[in-house]
Structure 1
Amino acid sequence: MIMTSNLGTEEFQRHSLGFARETKSEHERRKGAIETAMKQTFRPEFLNRLDEIVIFQGLTEEQIKQIVDLMMKDVKKRLTERKITVELTEEAKAKLAKEGFDPAFGARPLRRTLQRQVENPLSTKILQGEFKEGDRVLVDVGPKGFTFTT
């Protein structure tokens, strides 16, 4: 059985400034705080049954952008049925990464952000006839948010 938890991470999230690389000493401090929180939360009988405890480092902005790329593969695949291609600029990826990342939830909100900011507006524009078969859509960032151009 594999379980995940954010147990003991609250203190570190308060001091976090978004995307940052964690030093070895910070990782050790965080590991100690998490182990303490686990001992305060779970009974020793339960803790003794755990084979392994893995403490992950936070995601970097570059890793979140890679997740955006992976999620966009699904969008691109669905659009190939309509013979429409879509590409994101680096600025669009960065904005999605920033808006879709939450230190408390990691990259989990990214799917909803991508849907709300890219998939839904793109679908609306396709239904309204702005984009048609054979178009290459470029998603960028403008002064009022995301832009969609051919």
Structure 2
Amino acid sequence: MIPYFDTGFLATPILNATGSPIAWRLARLFEAPYPVNRLHVLQIEGMLFKAAASNELPEQQAALTGVRLWNRHFEEGVFEPREEAWEVALRLATNTNRQTEANPVSPLFHLHMAVALLANVTHFLSFRAQARALAAALGLKLLPERL
């Protein structure tokens, strides 16, 4: 069984957000290290850096804690960087994006789905309805099973 974490799902335990216990429980159904790619890193770190630059102290504190936790998870082998075939993934994402013209979703959802398919993952973990619908349409098993 190979998981693919939606960026929002991945961010939930990093920020100790609502749903964090559920995210960790579901992640633990799979064997660590959990694969993450450069798109995950770019999105998570961008989110953390933006929050750290916020004028709101609670948001800054959550971001700084999140950065430490994110880095520690890599150091401890919880997450493992994975190289992807980006050009192939971008072509596939472009094709699936064109197929959903009537019901558009974020292009990043398409790119994550393409990477997941190329990585032969078995399960897609997400709390986002649009990403889950796209993953289900592409034949991936969803976790949690229901929102």
TM-score (norm 1): 0.23
Which structure has more relative contact order (CA 8 Å, sep 6+)? It is: 2
Larger Rg: 1
TM-score (norm 2): 0.23
Q: Considering fraction of residues, name the structure with more helix.
A: 2
